[in-house]
Structure 1
């Protein structure tokens, strides 16, 4: 199971899951030992396949840091926190976490779009 390190320790995932909002974007960074990248990719693929089948999952994308950094960013769009909460707490998903390498550290956080006039829309 990856070690969980909140992006904002004052507002960890458990608190975020209690807020009803939508749509939401999960941004999750992963770091690990370089030797564990293959194990990580297999584990991530398996849990992403499960998540894609869950109600409310709009899209999932994995990015790798450039260069030699064994750092990854997962960007997933969900219709609501309720949908993400159901998927994140699903027993099949929780069971898959044990396949991640012990060196993996995950830092997940939920976000919503922001409107900045003339720049971006929510």
Structure 2
């Protein structure tokens, strides 16, 4: 199973799930060994189809780092932290998450929009 790391150690993802707010954006950065990128993306696409069918899902986009980077980043919009937490905690999602290789690292973080 992949490793889940906090992007901000002061605010771990599971603590963020307790914050009742929305709409929110989940920015999830993945560090993936180059030779495993295609297999990772195939599994991610399966996982994305599941998430798209969940209540409160709005949209998602996957991005790849440039210049040979091993980073991928998913930007997903949800109606609320509650909807995201429920989808994330579902047994089906957890089964798929367990399929990611041990040498993949996830850095998820929840954001809410502010006016610039």
Q: Considering the TM-score relative to the shorter chain, is it more than 0.5?
A: yes
What is aligned with 1:20? 20
Which blocks of at least 5 consecutive residues in structure 1 are unaligned? 117-122
Q: Superposition RMSD on alpha carbons, in Å? A: 0.8
Contact 1:25/1:111 (CA < 8 Å) preserved in 2?
yes
Determine helix, strand or coil for the equivalent of 1:115: coil
Return the TM-score normalized by structure 1: 0.92
Alignment partners' CA distance in 2, 1:65 and 1:83 = 28
Contact 1:5/1:106 (CA < 8 Å) preserved in 2?
yes
CA drift at 1:106: 0.2
Matches within 5 A, 1:23-62: 23-62=23-62
CA drift at 1:32: 1.7
Alignment partners' CA distance in 2, 1:44 and 1:2 = 12
Return the TM-score normalized by structure 2: 0.96
Contact 1:26/1:109 (CA < 8 Å) preserved in 2?
yes
Alignment partners' CA distance in 2, 1:70 and 1:45 = 18
Moved segments of 4+, more than 6 Å: none
Matches within 5 A, 1:79-90: 79-90=79-90
Determine helix, strand or coil for the equivalent of 1:76: strand
Determine helix, strand or coil for the equivalent of 2:98: helix
- Structure with the greater alpha carbon radius of gyration: 1
